[in-house]
């Protein structure tokens, strides 16, 4: 028995042209419903919920400045059920918005909803609504009407457009921070947020909400280069590409200086990757800086307020502003904090925070050892005893669990000899390129690209570097801790000759082994925090493995 019903209304200049039965009128006047206005030709969609559709429809038609005049919608699909109440229709509205937006790159729809930033909804029959209403509605009515193209909800759930949707439900802390900024957006804030705490969700949600509520507000949005295309697609899909153009820090600074622009607010995702002038840095990354300058100085100069979403353990290069420099540069900023872990799986005995705190202690980035060590004895975590076993771990997860994203990732301890971007342009085929890794008779290449690497055709057989994986989620991560780190007198220390990121080492005249060690350990912290459902490590240096196991209690 189908546990819901739908009513597809034909609209002409906002008027319902269907001949409505007594039952239809009752549904539209007194039943709680979720509804979808749409115009397939104009690629416009609006999703809502109400306890009285006829009254709500009249309100829509009376709006003075809608994003799209509701008279231009050709249809409205109304979903109703005896199971529905206010919580259910709100949740169904959220599900439809987030999943339909996740495939907007294919459907080309623009979603004209406002932002509520509501917290996660919990109610008694939530599982029943998912399995008996949302899933069949998606694969039957929505697919049949051409409102969706992809029936595979699992694949959509893994997309960045879904994960970073500005309509995602917020945690209580995310919501609190959003409200603080919205009340006073001409202040400066630094949000201390570890890996997996929801920085990017807050980033898109805050930018969208401020733009929606303040039509004249000039907002700058900044992130790292490998995420720009995805974030710009998100803002395009909600009709805000003209107001929210995502750039790197250097691009925004250059644009503002060239066009004499001052922003009301600049929001920076992954603020730990903001740069300072550095002689060895790529010319494009420092041409806007003079010696002694940092990007934060310029961002301050072109904005009335700023929000920095920051993790002190994710700076991975000398040209990144260091934690001590960040403290000095943000003196006077309001300090906010997010600690709840959303990426890494948990159960009733341990949390994602336990795993991250254990990793930080295990690789000597933190002295805090008050974490539940059972996390390292659970199904979530393992240590592979060979490179071959690590590769097998990732491949086995891919074959065992459909629609999961699982990759081998590593510290930058091998040269990038394959370099397909350069060599394929010179006439070589990808299959002819040399291998960067050759261990246990297994040959692998580094990531063939940095931008959106995990979605590329060859990524499953490649090894991802920090530059390809930072900012992304995996289901299962196989992490190589390479020979660029060793043990000396009970301490982890860098091995400079084995660290192959040419732009990632301190200048010779200023070389500091402790500085390089921290950069490398930060890289491993980032890599080890990518897996949502599981993580396995292979240690190239067995002394490093022994020290790590001792510290985490194995």
The whole-number pLDDT of residue 475 equals 92
Q: Does residue 442 register a pLDDT over 60?
A: yes
Residue that is written with structure tokens 């301050």 in the block: 300
Sheet holding 75-80, edge to edge: 15-16, 5-12, 75-80, 33-39, 44-50, 110-111
Reading the block at residue 421, the tokens are 């971007």
- Percent share of the chain, pLDDT over 70: 93
Q: Which helix (H) or strand (E) holds 57?
A: helix 53-62
What's the confidence (pLDDT) of residue 422? 64
Residue 47: the pLDDT is: 97
How do beta strands 75-80 and 437-439 pair?
unpaired
Q: What b/e readout covers 280-291, taking b as 16+ CB neighbours within 10 angstroms?
A: ebeeebbebbee
Q: What is the pLDDT of residue 195?
A: 81
Better-predicted residue by pLDDT, 93 or 195: 93
For residue 477, what are the CA distances in angstroms to 219, 270, 458, 531?
A: 35, 21, 17, 5
Report CA 146 to chain centroid distance, whole Å: 28
Radius of gyration (Cα) for the chain, nearest Å? 25
The H-assigned helical ranges of 184-247 are 199-213, 228-237
Domains defined along the chain, listed by start: 5-157 (no CATH), 172-337 (3.40.50.300), 352-552 (3.40.50)
pLDDT number for residue 198: 86
Of all residues in the chain, what percent carry a pLDDT higher than 90?
67
Looking at residue 332, what is its pLDDT? 94
pLDDT 10s digits, 474-493: 999 999 999 999 999 999 99
pLDDT (tens digit per residue) in 15-71: 999 999 999 999 999 999 999 999 999 999 999 999 999 999 999 999 988 888 999
Q: Is the pLDDT confidence value at 248 over 60?
A: yes
228-to-223, 239, 251, 264, 452 alpha-carbon distances in Å: 7, 17, 11, 21, 10
Query: What is the spatial distance between Cα 500 and Cα 515, in angstroms, rounded to a whole number?
Result: 16
Q: Three-state DSSP class for 464? A: strand
pLDDT tier for residue 403 given thresholds of 50, 70 and 90: confident
pLDDT at 471: 76
- pLDDT over threshold 70, residue 257: yes
Q: At what angle do helices 542-552 and 352-362 cross, to 10 degrees?
A: 130
- Note the pLDDT of residue 347: 60
Burial class of residue 130 in the structure, from the number of CB atoms within 10 Å of its CB (0-12 exposed, 13-18 middle, 19+ buried): middle
The span from the CA of 316 to the CA of 238, in Å, is 33
pLDDT given at position 287: 73
- pLDDT tens sequence across 113-146: 886 555 667 788 889 999 999 999 999 999 999 9
pLDDT of residue 192: 92
For residue 112, the model assigns a pLDDT of 93
pLDDT tens per residue across span 269-299? 989 989 888 776 566 666 788 888 889 999 9
The pLDDT assigned to 177 comes to 95
Residue burial 206-237, b: 16+ Cβ < 10 Å; e: rest: bbbbbbbeeeeeebbbbbbbbbbebbbbbbbb
454: confidence class by pLDDT, cuts 50, 70, 90: confident
Average pLDDT, the chain: 90
pLDDT tens-digit map of 302-357: 999 999 999 888 887 778 888 888 999 999 999 999 877 667 765 656 788 899 99
């Amino acid at each position: 028995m189908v546990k819901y019903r739908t009513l597809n209304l034909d609209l002409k200049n906002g008027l319902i042209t269907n001949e409505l039965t007594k039952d239809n009128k009752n549904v539209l006047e007194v039943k709680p419903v979720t509804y979808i206005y749409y115009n397939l030709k104009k690629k416009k969609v609006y999703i809502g919920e109400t306890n009285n559709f006829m009254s709500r429809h009249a309100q829509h038609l009376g709006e003075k400045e809608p994003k799209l005049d509701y008279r231009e919608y050709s249809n409205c699909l109304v979903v109703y059920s005896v199971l529905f109440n206010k919580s259910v229709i709100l949740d169904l509205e959220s599900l439809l918005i987030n999943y339909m937006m996740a495939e907007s790159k294919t459907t080309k729809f623009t979603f004209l909803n406002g932002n509520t930033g509501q917290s996660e909804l919990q109610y008694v029959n939530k599982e029943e609504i998912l399995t008996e209403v949302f899933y069949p509605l998606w694969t039957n009515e929505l697919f049949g009407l051409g409102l969706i193209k992809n029936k595979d909800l699992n694949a959509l759930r893994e997309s960045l457009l879904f994960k970073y949707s500005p309509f995602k439900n917020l945690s209580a802390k995310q919501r609190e921070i959003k409200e603080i900024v919205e009340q006073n957006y001409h202040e400066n804030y630094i949000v201390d947020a570890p890996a997996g705490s929801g920085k990017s969700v807050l980033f898109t949600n805050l930018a969208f909400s401020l733009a929606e509520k303040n039509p004249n507000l000039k907002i700058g949005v900044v992130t790292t280069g490998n995420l720009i295309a995805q974030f710009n697609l998100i803002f395009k899909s909600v009709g805000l590409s003209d107001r929210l153009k995502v750039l790197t820090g250097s691009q925004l600074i250059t644009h503002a200086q060239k066009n004499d622009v001052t922003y009301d607010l600049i929001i920076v995702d992954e603020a730990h990757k903001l740069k300072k002038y550095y002689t060895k840095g790529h010319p494009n990354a420092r041409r806007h800086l003079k010696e002694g300058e940092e990007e934060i100085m310029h961002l301050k100069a072109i904005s009335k307020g700023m929000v920095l979403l920051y993790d002190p353990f994710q700076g991975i290069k000398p040209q990144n502003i260091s934690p001590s420099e960040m403290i000095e540069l943000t003196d006077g900023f309001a300090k906010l904090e997010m600690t709840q872990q959303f990426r890494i799986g948990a159960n009733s005995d341990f949390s994602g925070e336990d795993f991250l705190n254990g990793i930080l202690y295990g690789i000597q980035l933190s002295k805090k050892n008050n974490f539940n060590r059972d996390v390292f004895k659970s199904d979530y975590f393992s240590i592979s005893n060979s490179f071959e076993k690590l590769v097998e771990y990732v491949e086995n997860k891919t074959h065992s669990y459909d629609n999961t994203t699982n990759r081998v990732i590593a510290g930058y301890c091998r040269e990038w000899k394959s370099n397909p971007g350069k060599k394929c342009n010179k006439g070589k085929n990808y299959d002819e390129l040399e291998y960067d890794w050759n261990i246990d008779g297994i040959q692998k290449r580094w990531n063939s690209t940095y931008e959106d690497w995990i979605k590329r055709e060859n990524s499953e057989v490649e090894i991802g570097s920090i530059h390809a994986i930072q900012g992304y989620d995996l289901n299962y991560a196989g992490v190589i801790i390479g020979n660029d780190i060793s043990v000396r007198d009970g301490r982890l220390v860098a091995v400079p000759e084995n660290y192959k990121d040419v732009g990632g080492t301190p200048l010779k005249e200023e070389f500091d082994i402790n500085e390089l060690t921290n950069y490398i350990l930060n890289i491993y912290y980032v890599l080890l925090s990518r897996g949502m459902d599981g993580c396995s490590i292979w240690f190239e240096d067995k002394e490093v493995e022994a020290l790590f196991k001792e510290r985490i209690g194995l």
